[in-house]
Structure 1
């Protein structure tokens, strides 16, 4: 279970498809929406159509909050039997992004992970969206100093996104794995080296924005095999990350040869 909580401001439920699909809240500078548990309405349809329907639901639910897909800064996809159809998923995502002009503006940060669901749907999804009320809140993609853009190998997400707010800066790091600058998987079969490289990549992103591990407020570590968790724990202890807020989940990563992935959020308050 993951929980998102806010304090000191009003929040209201976003009702969609006869249920609560998310929460809308706002402050002086922007409006925010968090959606979760979005799954295809027709689970007998092909996986491409199920994927496109999930994207359409993101858009329709955001409309209930006065937003649209242009305000999406972060997505999560939990794909049933991910490794069987990840390329098909990417093509469907590209189709939707092209139809909405996403490639002409911010491409959201994202995680795509292998996970079943109780509805036996092809996938389920979560969304985080921000609509600034003026120019005092900005959202931009952040390059990874140690990796190429994921779009270079036709995977349509930003490595990281930064939210610059009058009260804070937040860096949202996408799911990050052992991928070399050219886009190929490296350290095949070696969980320790894959974990180390993933952490090196994330650390470089944080440093590029004047942050570090101490600024991490949320992280998720994904292990292809649950027996890999102790490897991460030893590495985290050695690197001083043992107290970093992190949950571990066993799940397939987007390539069969990738054994570890991590996503996280980091934030610093402004003086």
Structure 2
């Protein structure tokens, strides 16, 4: 794959994230356009029957979006070709790859609770093993942004919470592929819970390396103490990517955590406020690293994951008060990685077109 003449002769790139009604994007066969990396769909009646074969570029998210049925369209200025590798379906240009992997999590009936390692841990390690092998093969070795969707993230089996099982498997692959030796290469990421029985991982990778960003208000997630599980979560608080003078910013799933402690338990308004303070701190760090005032709260777009439908209007009111986004805010119901967290917010900047 790496020797593809089409891929090796392309130069220059930009990355764009746009939004459209899902029906409009799909009816116009948007993926016939040669520059589309992928269309991200959320659960709805419209999208329930749509498949995800290797050529389609459709990336399905196993969560429900509240409000208008919107999809995300990721595109580039370079020609794009489809591909597959084992369980991964992806599309790539000369410098960027957008892909997805889905693995069924099944427990052998005869082993019950005694199976070791637990199925979620095994699936997480396998998913990242496939991703790293693919990226090495196509020469897009830098993992830029990851979205992880876990079944029953706060549930526990085999004596350990599912999110902690996932962290063990994920970190195992990072270690096996020597991707923890340089902290500046740890990607931005999110991990939320679903009612699916599958582990789903979406990823953006590229030929060019991003700069990992941390939040001075928080301990780096990969340095959390053992009280949060045998292995720390493997992600940075954000990532900054320069593409031909374009400054992309990826902010990881961000919640009401200061240091490593959860704040404002049972107060969704205060948790929303604290999440925005943390996002603002990552923006400040991105601007400091770049040496320019490139990003503000009002120039990003947001995915907002909320645990309880009753909290949605409170979260919306807080965000309407705190930020005036020029692009888009998507509200998605999901479980959050800590059971006491009610909201998690991720953001993207520098690549967004309305």
TM-score category, normalised to shorter length: 0.7 to 0.9
Query: Is 1:259 aligned to 2:342, yes or no?
Result: yes
Alignment of 1:1-271 (within 5 A): 1=41, 2-17=71-86, 21-26=89-94, 31-36=95-100, 38-40=101-103, 43-44=106-107, 46-63=119-136, 65-67=138-140, 70-84=141-155, 85-105=162-182, 106-117=185-196, 120-121=197-198, 123-132=199-208, 138-153=209-224, 154-181=232-259, 183-208=260-285, 209=287, 210=293, 211-216=295-300, 218-241=301-324, 243-267=326-350
Q: In structure 1, the residue corresponding to 2:257 is in which secondary structure?
A: coil
User: What do the CA deviations read for 1:119-157 (whole angstroms, capped 9, x no partner)?
Assistant: x22x1101110113xxxxx42111113212111212211
State the distance in 2 between where 1:212 and 1:251 align: 26
State the distance in 1 between where 2:179 and 2:283 align: 25
State the distance in 2 between where 1:252 and 1:8 align: 36
Match in the other structure for 2:13: none
What is the TM-score normalised by the length of structure 2? 0.66
Classify 1:41/1:189 alpha carbon distance in 2 versus 1 (closer, same or farther; 3 Å).
closer
The number of equivalent residue pairs is 251
State the distance in 1 between where 2:139 and 2:187 align: 19
CA positional deviation for 1:254: 0.3
State the distance in 1 between where 2:331 and 2:214 align: 26
Q: In structure 1, the residue corresponding to 2:235 is in which secondary structure?
A: coil
CA positional deviation for 1:53: 1.5
CA positional deviation for 1:57: 2.2
Q: Which moved more, 1:240-249 or 1:194-203?
A: 240-249
CA positional deviation for 1:83: 0.9
CA positional deviation for 1:226: 1.5
Classify 1:244/1:193 alpha carbon distance in 2 versus 1 (closer, same or farther; 3 Å).
farther
CA positional deviation for 1:225: 0.6
Q: In structure 1, the residue corresponding to 2:149 is in which secondary structure?
A: strand
State the distance in 1 between where 2:120 and 2:210 align: 31
Q: Which moved more, 1:87-96 or 1:1-10?
A: 1-10
State the distance in 1 between where 2:103 and 2:149 align: 12
5+ residue gaps, structure 2, are 1-40, 42-70, 109-118, 156-161, 225-231, 288-292
CA positional deviation for 1:244: 4.1
State the distance in 1 between where 2:106 and 2:351 align: 42
User: What do the CA deviations read for 1:25-58 (whole angstroms, capped 9, x no partner)?
Assistant: 13xxxx110112x122674462221111111221
Is residue 219–residue 246 contact of structure 1 (8 Å, CA) maintained in 2? Answer: yes
5+ residue gaps, structure 1, are 133-137
Q: In structure 2, the residue corresponding to 1:222 is in which secondary structure?
A: strand
